[in-house]
Chains A and B, each alone.
Chain A
Amino acid sequence: MLKMEGIWKTFNAGTVNEKTALSGLDLELKEGDFVTVIGGNGAGKSTMLNAVAGVWPVDEGKIYIDDIDVTKLPEHKRAKYLGRVFQDPMTGTASGMQIEENLALAARRGEFRFLKPGITHKERSYYRERLATLGLGLEDRMTTKVRLLSGGQRQALTLLMATLKRPKILLLDEHTAALDPKTAAKVLEATDRIVGENHLTTMMITHNMKDAIVHGNRLIMMYEGHIIYDVAGEEKKKLKVSDLLEKFEQASGGEFANDRMMLA
């Protein structure tokens, strides 16, 4: 479904702030894989997701989605294949537009937009149904401007938008990190349900090791811009947080870690 081959990305090349964020990253996802991604700050997790999304061109390497070479495709064209939810609840929605307008925008992802109506009656009733599944009461506030919603509501809405039109790959960039624990749990629950119902190929970055173990069928750990640990199936289910800490220590040559993330 997704293939990344030898991806390199360096930011601010040639300056004192030079930072190699991805160094020869290889990754292949199978259809229906739900991969959780962990790693310390600056390990390249978000950079990897942004490389898939095409936020900027990569320096080297190839990216294939469903065997289509998307390496050179700009972000808005790649959007056709991707559903994305960001860490910052402000990023995923148009705050000055209504809930239903946001959904209508998402429903047209990857389609040519011209002078057809931006939203139709038929769509509205469909959106109402879908919003109801979130259990947040948003179905009764469809014409509310999104800026009036809480962070959790916005993330839930963004998640719905990302999956309204079935994406080939769902990219979740720590989409619960900015939420309080209770709301985060709710959004994660919705994530599990939506991914499961639609058998979506998913990559989810998380700072929470327990979440990384509990959710999904595969787990990868990143360090200095590439993958250092990749585990799936039964082996992943049996993982404990302490195993992950050990792995990290091994990989980073004992550099471990007061890295706060690993203790989450």
Chain B
Amino acid sequence: MKFINALPGPVAQGLIWGIMAIGVYITYKVLDLADLTVDGTMATGGAVCIVMMQSGHSVGVSLLAAFLAGMAAGLVTGLFHTAMGIPAILAGILTQLGLYSVNLRIMGEKANVALAFGKYDQLVSLRWIRDVPFYQNTIFVSAVFVLVLIVILYWFFGTELGCAIRATGNNENMSRAQGINTNTGKLVGLMLSNGIVSLSSALYAQYNGFADVNAGRGAIVIGLAAVIIGNVILGKVSRNFAFKLFSVVVGAIIYWVVYQIVITAGLNANDMKLISALVVAIFLAVPYWKRKYFSKPVKKGGASNA
């Protein structure tokens, strides 16, 4: 009973993290890059949004600013990678590290900045899970956010630019041969991804009622977990791109519901990062093991290296 009562919380949390996971999906699945910048941007968005709201800006402007800040972080990683030739993973780690200082600067050298509840026009809050009109309910608001985001991304990845980004993630040689600037593709993809993660971070900070400089620690693992869980559970249902994004959000919700179950069962919350890391490691290993130990020998075609 205790668990059922606690259920709406993780669902709301899952929806907000689902937005973050969509950002991870764009880099990890569409662009085929592992972008660790998100561990930084998952704190940046919250910092920007809370500080802006405190200084009197509307929630809309604050969210937009958070989105733009995330895009800027993505741009930095993208330039490290494309213009400076740094491997994508390392480029992300560098930006992430740098963002720690930037995030502290944004929050006025404080590790945690609280948003006084009820004084600002915030969109979501962990206090608005039940006993509020449905349109104010955080689950409803977050679901609308998710829906709008999926619709926009579905449209975007169907445009010429979106198709070029998908091609870049698929086959760089082919993309260049078709006149696509693969560096631009990666830059735009990384900016979009980090902008979305930052937006999620801004919502999450409102939800919690505070921005925290450590909010993004391990975020990439949670995002990957959501992508993987969604793919395992719903991957076979449809190949439609919008549905893929939807299944990523479902993955995030499942992650937080399971998290809640494990906590309710009495596990130490501090152990959760270890458990998440191990679960993601195993799921990432499954395709490799399948190839290595369970694949049938494939007949070689007429291919030669001549």
Contact = CB atoms under 8 A, between A and B. Distances in A.
A binds B: yes
A161 B179 CA distance: 12
A95 B170 CA distance: 7
Nearest to B162: A118
A169 to B, nearest CB: 13
A178 B182 contact: no
A209 B306 CA distance: 14
A98 B82 CA distance: 27
26 contacts: A53-B177, A76-B182, A77-B179, A79-B180, A82-B177, A91-B171, A92-B177, A93-B174, A94-B174, A94-B175, A96-B169, A101-B163, A101-B166, A105-B175, A108-B160, A113-B163, A114-B161, A117-B158, A117-B159, A118-B158, A145-B239, A151-B303, A177-B306, A178-B304, A183-B302, A261-B306
Contacts of B303: 151, 178
B171 A94 contact: yes
A179 B302 contact: yes
Nearest to B302: A180
B176 A96 contact: no
B164 A95 contact: no
Interface in A161-204: 161, 177-181, 183
Interface of B: 156, 158-164, 166-167, 169-171, 173-182, 239, 301-304, 306
Interface residues of A, number: 45
A79 B177 contact: yes
B31 to A, nearest CB: 12
Per DSSP, chain A at the interface is loop
Contact of B181 (A76, A86, A178): A76
A68 interface: no
B304 to A, nearest CB: 7
Given A151-B303, A178-B302, A115 B180 contact: no
Given A105-B163, A177-B304, A93 B179 contact: no
Interface in A99-134: 101, 104-106, 108-111, 113-119
